[in-house]
Amino acid sequence: MTNVSYRSINVDGVKVFYREAGLAGAPKLLLLHGFPSSGHMFRDLIPLLADRYHIIAPDLPGFGQSDAPKSSNSFDSIAATIDRFTEIVGFDRYAVYVFDYGAPTGFRLAVKHPERITAIISQNGNAYEEGLSEGWNPIQAYWQYPSDENRNALKPFLQQDAITWQYTHGVVDVSRISPDGYMLDSFYTARPGAEAIQLDLFGDYKSNVALYPTFQNYFRTHKPRFLAVWGKNDPFFLPPGAEAFRRDIPEAVVKFLDTGHFALETHAAEIASEIRKFLG
C-alpha cells in the first residue's frame, strides 16, 4: 500500500494544497493537472510510481483545495506561485508531468529554470498550434473580441454536462470512467467565485499560445528528455501536437493511447509503465 499525505502550505499568501508520496531522496517528480481538475486526477498514477519516485501533486491556484491566484487570474500568476512552491517543498531538480493547463505552467518553469528540469512527460499538454482543435474556436473568439457576449458563451464549458463530456469523449469503454473525477470537478467549478476565475483563464490562454515559440526554443536549445503520451481521441489537443515535439527534440518519445483527454482515467497503468521505462 502507498502512503499518500495531504498537505497545505502558504506560498506568498496563497494556500497551496498538495498530495505527496514516495521517499525523500528518491528522484523527484512534479505532477501538474489541468482544467477543470485538481491533483485528484493523479489518484491512480501516484501509487504506481511512488515506490521509485518522490512525488508531489499540487492543486494549481484557483483549482481544487488551493486558494485563488493572489495577483491575477492568469497563467503567469499560477506559474509564479508553483515556481515558488517547488522551492519551498525542496524540489530543486525534478521531472515534471504536465497535462492540459499544467503544460503552460510547467513549460514556464522549464524556460525560467532549465537547470532544474531532469525530464518532461507531457500527457495531452500542448505547445504547438497544430495541436489545437476546432474545439478552441469559441475560446479563440473571446481572445480576439473579449466582449461580454463572447465571455458568456464560454459558461457552458463549466457546466456538469460539459465536464462529464470531457471525461467520456473518445473513450472506447465509458464504463471504465469513474464518476468521482467529473463530479468532483463539477463541484469545484460551481463554488462561489470559481466561474470568474475559469473565464479569466479561458481569456488568458492566448498568452500560452503567444509563448509557444518561446517554449519551442527551449526545447530546441536544451533538448530535455521528453516523453509525450497522448490520448489520441482528445477533442481539444490533437495528435499532431504530440508529434510536433520531435521537430524540436528529435529524441523525444511519442506514444498514443486509444482514449480521450483524461487518459489517466482509463490508462493509468499503461502511462505509469511508459514513465518507468522512460525515466529509468
Q: Is 261 marked active-site?
A: yes
What does the DSSP assignment read for the chain? ----EEEEEEETTEEEEEEEES-TTSPEEEEE--TT--GGGGTTHHHHHTTTSEEEEEPPTTSTTSPPPSS-SSHHHHHHHHHHHHHHTT-SSEEEEE-TTHHHHHHHHHHH-GGGEEEEEESS---SGGGB-GGGHHHHHHHH---HHHHHTTGGGGSHHHHHHHHHTT-S-GGGS-HHHHHHHHHHHTSTTHHHHHHHHHHHHHHHHHTHHHHHHHHHHH---EEEEEETT-SSB-HHHHHTHHHH-TT-EEEEESS-S-THHHHHHHHHHHHHHHH-
The one catalytic residue among 33, 169, 261, 267: 261
Active-site residue list:
261
